[in-house]
Amino acid sequence: MSGDRITKGLLFLSSLTILLLSAGIVVSLLGGALQAFREFGLRFIISPAWNPTAGSEEYGAMSFIAGTVITSILALIICIPMAFSTSLFIAEYFRGTRTSGILRSLVDLLAGIPSIVYGFWGFYALRPLLVATGLTDQGFGVFTASLVLAIMIVPYATSLSAEIISMVPAELKEAAYSLGATRREVIFSVVIPSARSGIIASFILALGRALGETMAVTMLIGNANVIPKGLFAPGNTMASVIANQFGEASGLKMSALIAVGLLLFLITALVNYLGKLIIKRFA
Amino acid sequence: MELTDNIRRRSRTNNRFRYLVIAGSVITIIPIFLIVGNLAVKGYRQINLAFFTKPAPDTFQAMMAAVNGEIIPGGIANGLTGSLLMVLLASLLAIPLGLMTGIYIYENESKKYARFIRSLTEILQGVPSIILGIIAYLWIVKNITRGYSALAGSVSLTIMMLPLIIRSTEETMRMIPLSIREAAFALGTPYYKMIYKILIPVSFSGLATGVLLALSRILGETAPLMLTALGSPAISFDITRPVSAVPLLIWDFYNDPNMVNLVWSASLFLMVFVLSMNLLARSVASKHKYI
């Protein structure tokens, strides 16, 4: 029987590491951020100042919170029509066909491409196209970053939406067809209403991915420590400012960057929790 | 008349919507062809034997080659070895730990504690990778290796891998028919033997899929390594010293205008490698659907 007890003990111990790891992450972020919060108080969250000049150092996270929220929401807006049509294609129009399987694999491939490759491709292939439209001089900025982000989060929104749409009971749809509804009418009056919360959850989870995305955004957003002034203006997100400045930071600046990380952690955890909550309700 | 008009109108909007869905789907997959095509066309020239066996060139060599219109000498060997070192170390830590935790959660689902651990795993999975870089920096770079190191990089990758493996293990275990476990218990199999001789072998392909997918996720990861492993121009296997990695090299090359041609090749290589691992994982999964 001792083998049993050892096994059970080992399994329990390994589960403890998750507990320690999670606690450690929160404690370390809080500890690292302490200096910045002690210095600036809650003003750190609402201040858009970011001045690393020695002597007049002042840090605030608002520019980056704004940058993160704007790019992520814009990415989500661009992503919704794409993910919506692909999930209808996969789970409704071409359900169970080979075409649907191929499309699903292609969309899944988008999730496999590393972030840095997206960033590089966006820089050398997409940016010149945007410059050619005349809307922007340099091609850097919120819109470019959001466009690439949108492509990156499409697979996450699609796979979950498609799964939920395919779970809509056939009887419901058949009942609507038998009343003479067209396919579009069935989709809008039966499929979407009954899958609504699941579809919303899939988009919230996709948003959660967009919030923390680092490399592609860092390479495309233009890296200016200000609240973006327009769609084509440069900015910085919480993740990109950490990626850009952590390496040469020390003292108060490092603490401020860790505080930005803590805020990012809280925002993504909240968004993901919301998404999971809706899904659990749905299931 | 009015009735047929109505039907005609509805059927027209119906068709229009259908085309809209198809058009939207086509637009969605265009980027994948553009990305693969762009990288393949611009990246293949630099891929030769030296690309895999030589470390990254310095910027002067690259500039001379670019001026003379030659292929940039050197390759990504220091990135390959660094990636290999860190991913191997991360796997050694994350795979056993993840498997055991996944089995624990599955076996104790009725307990509040196990469900709590599962929620923590879900939260951990959503943590942006750059934050795991900060954590590994605070824990390892500042306190243990006292400087950027491969160990710190591995730790950040381990924390990324763990939740992925835990979730896939738990989901795979869930697919094992209860009858198999009951049969083992009926024969008097001890608990630990049931795990080593039944649960793990039966679900092996599912577990392998989870591990492969987790590996394909961390292989392309750049952000946490920037804060931990930093990068190194030489091939190094010392886990207490900075090392490079393929995605870190892409970042370095990207920041050096002379190296542009090498970025295309390194990106092409990384993408093909990660995507083939992804496809391998999926084919393993689809071949063993019976569990």
CATH number, domain at A168? 1.10.3720.10
**A29 part of a folded domain:** no
Lowest mean pLDDT among B6-15, B68-77, B266-275: B68-77
Task: Measure the CA angle with vertex B279, ends B274 and B285; round to 5°.
Answer: 130
Is residue A59 within a helix (H) or strand (E), and if so which, with residue range? strand A58-59
Distance CA A246, CA A251 (A): 11
pLDDT at A259: 97
Positions in chain A short of pLDDT 70: 1, 283
pLDDT at A283: 65
pLDDT at B60: 84
Better pLDDT: B19 or B66: B19
CB burial of residue A88 (10 Å; 0-12, 13-18, 19+)? buried
> Where are chain B's structural domains?
84-244+272-287
Show which of residues 16-45 on chain A sit within 8 Å of chain B, judged by CB atoms.
17-19, 21-22, 24-25, 28-29, 31-32
How does pLDDT run across B237-274, given as a tens digit for each residue?
999 999 999 999 999 999 988 888 889 999 999 999 99
How does pLDDT run across B76-123, given as a tens digit for each residue?
999 999 999 999 999 999 999 999 999 999 999 999 999 999 999 999
pLDDT at A227: 94
**A7 part of a folded domain:** no
**A39 part of a folded domain:** no
Q: What is the mean pLDDT of residues B163-178?
A: 93
Contact at CB, B126 and A151, closer than 8 angstroms: no
**A44 part of a folded domain:** no
Closest listed residue to residue B117, CA positions, set B192, B154, B169: B169
pLDDT at B153: 97
Q: What is the mean pLDDT of residues B138-150?
A: 95
Show which of residues 79-98 on chain A sit within 8 Å of chain B, judged by CB atoms.
81-86, 88-89, 93
Mutation test of the interface with chain B: which of A5, A25, A272, choosing the one with the most B Cβ atoms within 10 A?
A25
User: CB distance from B193 to chain A under 8 Å?
Assistant: yes
Distance CA B77, CA B82 (A): 8
Check whether B288 has a pLDDT greater than 80.
Answer: no
Check whether B291 has a pLDDT greater than 70.
Answer: no
User: CB distance from B140 to chain A under 8 Å?
Assistant: no
**A187 part of a folded domain:** yes
CATH for B84-244+272-287 is: 1.10.3720.10
Query: What average pLDDT is seen over chain B?
Result: 92
Contact at CB, B131 and A261, closer than 8 angstroms: yes
Q: Which residues of A134-160 are buried (b: 16+ CB within 10 A; e: fewer)?
A: eebeebbbbbbbbbbbbbbbbbbbbbb
Residue A74: domain span: 58-282
Count of CB atoms within 10 A of residue B171's CB? Answer: 14
Quote the tokens at residue A51: 């001045």
| B225 band by pLDDT with thresholds 50, 70 and 90 | very high
Show which of residues 110-139 on chain B sit within 8 Å of chain A, judged by CB atoms.
113-114, 117, 120-124, 126-131, 133-135, 137-139
Torsion sign, CA atoms A165, A160, A102, B42? positive
In chain A, the number of structural domains is 1
**A38 part of a folded domain:** no
